[in-house]
Structure formats: C-alpha cells, structure tokens
Structure 1
C-alpha cells in the first residue's frame, strides 16, 4: 500500500471504537455515506477541512488520523513477516496493519527483535562453550574445587574419631574451598552473561579493542577531523583499554584508521558512497585507492538514521579472524574457525582480485547480504621473504543495497552451529537440527 494511504483505515477504526454508524458520521461532516465508505477503504484521499471535520467528530487530533506509521515499525513487521512461507503477501500488508493496530504491531516487532537477540546469544554461547580456552580453564578450576570439597567431606563422615586439630583443619579447608567455589561460579556466570550483544566480554586483547570500538560505534571522530591528537595520545586517554596488548592493538588500528581517513576524507567520501549505493567498485575507481581501503572506510562511516550498519571482518593468511565488526543477522564467531564458504576466504585464494557475492546466512530466519572481499599484501614485499596477505570483507545488509535472491551463496557462521547438513565444506557435526 502506498505511503500515506492509511488515513481511511484509521478513520474506520476510530469510528468503530466510538460505536458510530457510517451514515451518522457522514451526515455530521456533510458528505454521503458512499463517499465516506470509499474514504474508509483508502480509495479516496482526504486532507484539509474534511479531515479536520472528521477528526473533530471522532474527538481525535487530525494528526493522529493523517500520520503514517513509523518507518521503523513497518520495517520490523516486514522483518517478522519474512519468516513466514507466504512472506510476499504478508509484507505488503505491513503498513496497513501498523496503521490500524499500532499497539499489536509494536508487540509483534518487539517479539521478533527479542527472538533475533536470543538466537544471537545462543550462537555466541555455543561458540564460546565449544572453543573458548578461558571457559575450559574456569570449568577445570570449578570441578577441581568441587572434587576437593567432596574428598574432605568424605573423610569427615567416615566412622571413627578424628583429632580435634585435624577436624578443625578439614573444616577450614571446606570453608576456603566453598568460598573459592562460589567466587569461581559467580565469575563464570558473569563471563557467560557477557556474551550478549550489549556487553561483549573483554578477556583477550582483541576483545578489549573491539569492545572499545563498539562503544564508539566504530566511528572515530578524532581521526576524522585529523586533530593534533595522535593514535598514541588517544589510546592513553582511553581507560577502557587496560592491557598493554590491548593498547598496542588499538594504537595500530587507529594509525590505519587515520591513514584511511586521509586517503578518503569523510566530507567527500560519505556523499560519494551514498551516490554509489555503497558499491565499493566505483568508489575505488573514483578515488584511485586500493579496494581494502575502500572496504574499511565504508565500514567506518556512521549509518544513516534508521538503516542497518555495515559489517567488517578481517583475517590473516592463516584464515584466523583478526578483526570483527558485527552486523545484525550475520554472526561472527569469536573462537574457532568461521565458515570456509565466506567470500573472505575466496579472496585469500585469489590475491588482489576483488570478490563480490550475494550470501544467505543459515538459520531459522535466513537473511541475505552483499559481501565484498579482497586480499592484499601487508607491508612492503621483499625478495627473500614469503608474501603475507590480509583479507578484508565488507558485509552490506539488504536495507542498504538490493541483494538478489537468485544464486545467493548459502553460508553459515561456523560448522558447529550451522544447521545445513548438505554442505560439502563441513568440518564437524552441528549441534543444531538440520534445515533444508
């Protein structure tokens, strides 16, 4: 339904709620019942004095009848409808439903967001429980403490007398082990709770850097304005960066960010990116810079209001992910290997050759993205050293660019939590139920 065509639906809902007959309302505002019927079925536009008269008769502000449903609410409904088999028919009625039942529409959209959030939390927890060495060490400590308490308690319950000094020592051991068990359990719970999208864990230097960038939405205004502050000075003023390794990674990333900003200034690059529809190919040709620089720069742009942000992932020559900027609907594994079908890894096998592909992420609610990737050499290549490559992949959601459904490459997060059983690239069985 076209924008602004829901005023009639709101008039009908308001009239029904007040218990007014269509003929009574029509007579009150001086029009025929047949004409009012056309208005209420959105077959005639209405504005000006007639809208004001109807609003007065319905005891409501004219703006309430005339305003469109919020774009974000309609987008949320369409996102929820996309998971149904007959998605096309339902998506077309999203704006009408939002206009007639805004409360129910908000509830449906909120539930869809909650489901998507819980799915991301489950994926993150599964990834962490499968591959995280810190979690394994914590569980080992917890089980060792439980075993120590059990052994001491078994001695105390054995028949026979125990010397008072030994009994006191055993009691003290149980007390100390119990305290350690409580502290370890609480720390483990806090660690797992931090897997949610609103609180990223910072157990490793890379996590520390990404949590700091996430708090700034990956857009560093200080580097954009090219202020006198250097990357080192900016890191020194960041209390969130607590480890030496974390500060070193941040300083390295800031230096690269500044170099990209100097090559592609925000004032000229941002409008050019909008004009090009965020397609990195024309932008690289227009500004005469490397594709990797364009991909990183696009990911650093602040997203337009109401639009999803662009994701970015970087890996070294071994395929290990060295940087992640997540995007909704495209989970990035924290530990373990990612999906080998990603264009990121295709780029590693074709250095300097840009790769573009429409991808569909596996899951109960599959979503499509455009992925752009390239592998470029790091540093200055030498004759006596092997070339070292780094691959960069930009992830563009469907609300920023049209993503064709035909021929989309079906990918996952990692084999452990990918439900597609027919994948030839699978390394290990999935813990999830298989999907077609």
Structure 2
C-alpha cells in the first residue's frame, strides 16, 4: 500500500488515540459518519479544506495525517526489512506499521541500528584479531610451551623406571616451559589490556599513524596553517605515535601531507574540487600533479554538507594496505587481507594506467572507485622500481555497481568466486 493512500488509517488512529467517536468527528468536520467511515478505511481520498478541518479537530498537523511518519523512520525500517531477507516480511507495508504501531516501529528501527552496530563491531574485532602480529606471535609461543610440557609429561608417565638424572632433566624442562607459558600468558593479558585503552595498544606503526589521522578526521589543520614546520610538534604531542619506527614513518607520511598541501592549497583546491564534481583526473590536469597526489588531497578535505563521502586506500606491490580512510557505508579492514576484487589490486597489474569503476560495498553503498598504480621516486636507474597503488572512493548514485567486500571473513555475499575463506556472518546477502 502506498504512503499516499494511508491518510484514512492515520485519521482513524489519531481519532482513537484522542478518544473521539467517529460520529463526533464527522459532525465537527461537517460530513456524514458513513462518509468518514469510507475515508478511515482508505476508500475515499481526502485533502484540501476537509483535511485541514479534521486535523484541526484532532489537534494535529495536516501533514502528519497526509504524509505520516518521517522519512528517517521509514528508511530505517525499510533497511531492517532488506537485511532480514525473509519473504514473510511485508516490506511494502512499512508505512502502515509506523502509522498503526509507532512504538513497535521505533523499537524495531532501534534494534535494527543496534544489530548493524554490533555487526560492524564484530567485523572490526575479527579483523583486529586476525591481523594482530603480537597476538599471533604470543599464541604460537603458548602452543609451543603447551606441546613441550605435554610431551615431557607423557614420557614421565609412560616410563616409571626412568633414570634419576633423566627424570631431573625432564622436571627441569617442565619447570622452564611452565615459566615460559606463564610469562607469555601474562604478556597476552597485558596486550589485551592495552587494546582496551584509547591512548595505547597500537600493534604496528601503521596502525598508530592510522589512529592519528582517524582522530583528526584525516584533516591536519596544523599542517594546513604552518606547513612542514608543524610536523615535529605534532609528533611529539601525539599520544598514538610512540617508538622510533612509528615516529620515522609519521614524519614520512606527514611530510607527504605537507607537500600536497603546498602544491594544492586548501581553499582553492576545495572550490575547484566542488566545481569539477570531485573528478580527480580533471583536478590533476588543472594543477599539473599526479593522480595519487589528488587522491590524497581529496581524502584530507574537511567534510562539507554538500560534498560526497570520500574514502582512500593505498597499498604496496604486495597488496598490503598502507593507509586507509574508510568512507561511511564501506568498512575497510585495518591492514592486509582485503577483498581481492578491489580495483586497487587490479591497478597493480597495469602501473600508470588509471581506471574508473562503480562498485557497491557489502553494506549496499555505491562508490566510484578511481584507481592508479605507479612507482615512487627513484634515486638511480639501476634501482628496482617500488610500486604503490591508491584507490579513491567517491560516493555516487550511479548504476550498475560491481559488488565488492571488505575482507572474506566478514563478507556476507554468497557464491563469490574470489572468496578465500568462509565468512563468519550468517546473514544472507
């Protein structure tokens, strides 16, 4: 049933909620009770002066009766129905549900948001645990210590008359491995404790740098104003960046940011980007810079209400993710093990050849994926070229879109030929 013809149902629900009889409302509106009955059962359309009169009598706005629930509530429930993927869910009667049972509708929408948030958390935690090098290393140490203790214990149990010297050696071995197991377990507990704190727990320098940009919305105002002179103070003040490796990598990334900001001044570039509809090729031609510089600069623009959602992913020639800016509607894995269908990886096969493809995330959002790969600067002709690729994601309404995912472990799509491993999600695609 369309939203436009449910005005009668809303009139009836409103009349019942205020405790008014049908005959009384009809009398005050100047119509017969039988005609009002036809209206309330959506058998007669209503509008104009009569709608205004009835709305006034029921102490509500005419638009509340004619348009019903706000679009946000309807869109939320339609998303819940789509996620359910169950033929028994009457998705075409969402408006009627909201009109007749607003409390239940609000609860369903709230639970839908809650489920989506939990699924996103699950994807993030799974990705974190899967690619956490510290956890992987400690787990192997635990398994090694357990195997050694079990093997030594089995020998002692199965050989009761073992020589006293060998028995002492085996006891010493069990003691050593037990101590190692205890120390490794304590280290794992400490690592998990760090992960729960906001100011620590970054397992790699790349993750620390990513957290630095995430907290600033990927826009570093200090560099925009002071250029490269702001880099060292920023690094010293950043709680995320600690350790020699992280500081060294942060200098390189922030220096690149400063170079981009100098070549593409913020105000002029933002205006040009909006004028050229965020087309990276047109912007690169206007400013005489390479595409990857434009990609990075677009990803660092301050968020504007009328601007599309923009994301960025870069990787090396091995396909390992270096930097990432996830756009709304597209969950990106932290580092490594991303979806092999990303245009980003296809660009590595043809360095220097830019591509444009409309893609759809597993969350259902569509993006234009601009991708290009190329060598970083070389000091001499004999050096092996180091290739890096970048993919700019710009939200769009274009169709059709090629389906891609985040990473196989949390991708709900079925029958994907590129899948490496089963998904932990049971939700239907």
Partner residue of 1:404 out of 387, 394, 399: 399
Partner residue of 2:47 out of 39, 44, 49: 44
Q: Is the 8 A contact 1:371 1:394 kept in 2?
A: yes
Q: Secondary structure at the match of 1:230?
A: helix
Between the aligned partners of 2:228 and 2:184, the Cα distance in structure 1 is: 50
The 1:287/1:306 distance shift into structure 2, 3 A limit, reads closer
Between the aligned partners of 2:307 and 2:27, the Cα distance in structure 1 is: 45
Which residue in the other structure is 2:119 paired with? 119
Q: Is the 8 A contact 1:5 1:45 kept in 2?
A: no
Q: Is the 8 A contact 1:278 1:401 kept in 2?
A: no
Which residue in the other structure is 1:390 paired with? 388
Between the aligned partners of 2:67 and 2:208, the Cα distance in structure 1 is: 44
Between the aligned partners of 1:46 and 1:148, the Cα distance in structure 2 is: 87
Q: Is the 8 A contact 1:145 1:181 kept in 2?
A: no
The 1:284/1:181 distance shift into structure 2, 3 A limit, reads closer
Q: Is the 8 A contact 1:415 1:430 kept in 2?
A: yes
Q: TM-score, with normalisation over the residues of structure 1?
A: 0.72
- Give ranges in structure 1 of 5+ residues lacking alignment: 160-168
Partner residue of 1:430 out of 412, 422, 425: 422
Deviates more, 1:37-46 or 1:211-220: 37-46
- Equivalent positions of 1:181-192 (< 5 A) are 183-184=186-187, 186-187=189-190, 189-190=192-193
Is 1:343 the equivalent of 2:338? no
Q: Which structure has the larger Rg over C-alpha atoms?
A: 2
CA drift of 1:342 comes to 1.1
Which residue in the other structure is 1:358 paired with? 358
Which residue in the other structure is 1:264 paired with? 264
The 1:336/1:228 distance shift into structure 2, 3 A limit, reads closer
Between the aligned partners of 2:93 and 2:285, the Cα distance in structure 1 is: 41
Q: Secondary structure at the match of 2:117?
A: helix
CA drift of 1:347 comes to 1.7
Q: Is the 8 A contact 1:39 1:46 kept in 2?
A: no
CA drift of 1:231 comes to 1.7
Q: TM-score, with normalisation over the residues of structure 2?
A: 0.73
Q: Is the 8 A contact 1:280 1:291 kept in 2?
A: yes
The 1:132/1:286 distance shift into structure 2, 3 A limit, reads same
- Equivalent positions of 1:11-410 (< 5 A) are 11-28=11-28, 34=35, 43-44=46-47, 50=53, 53-54=56-57, 56=59, 72-83=72-83, 101-143=101-143, 180=183, 183-184=186-187, 186-187=189-190, 189-190=192-193, 202-226=202-226, 229-304=229-304, 309-362=309-362, 367-379=365-377, 382-396=380-394, 400-405=395-400, 408-410=401-403
How many residue pairs were aligned? 417
Q: Secondary structure at the match of 2:397?
A: coil
CA drift of 1:69 comes to 5.2
Q: Secondary structure at the match of 2:262?
A: helix
CA drift of 1:224 comes to 3.4
Q: Deviations over 1:237-282 (max 9, x none)?
A: 2233222222232232222223333343433443544455444344
CA drift of 1:210 comes to 0.9
Which residue in the other structure is 1:165 paired with? none
CA drift of 1:139 comes to 1.9
- Give ranges in structure 2 of 5+ residues lacking alignment: 161-171
Which residue in the other structure is 1:166 paired with? none
Between the aligned partners of 1:261 and 1:18, the Cα distance in structure 2 is: 61
Q: Secondary structure at the match of 2:340?
A: coil
CA drift of 1:202 comes to 1.2
Between the aligned partners of 1:129 and 1:325, the Cα distance in structure 2 is: 20
Q: Is the 8 A contact 2:373 2:387 kept in 1?
A: yes
Q: Deviations over 1:56-107 (max 9, x none)?
A: 4xxx6899779985554444334333335599x9777666755665544443
Q: Is the 8 A contact 1:200 1:211 kept in 2?
A: no
Q: Is the 8 A contact 2:350 2:373 kept in 1?
A: yes
Between the aligned partners of 2:185 and 2:49, the Cα distance in structure 1 is: 67
Q: Deviations over 1:209-258 (max 9, x none)?
A: 11121112212222334578522222222233222222232232222223
Deviates more, 1:142-151 or 1:283-292: 142-151
Q: Secondary structure at the match of 1:110?
A: helix
Between the aligned partners of 1:47 and 1:221, the Cα distance in structure 2 is: 57
Between the aligned partners of 2:225 and 2:390, the Cα distance in structure 1 is: 25
Between the aligned partners of 2:106 and 2:193, the Cα distance in structure 1 is: 31
CA drift of 1:312 comes to 1.2
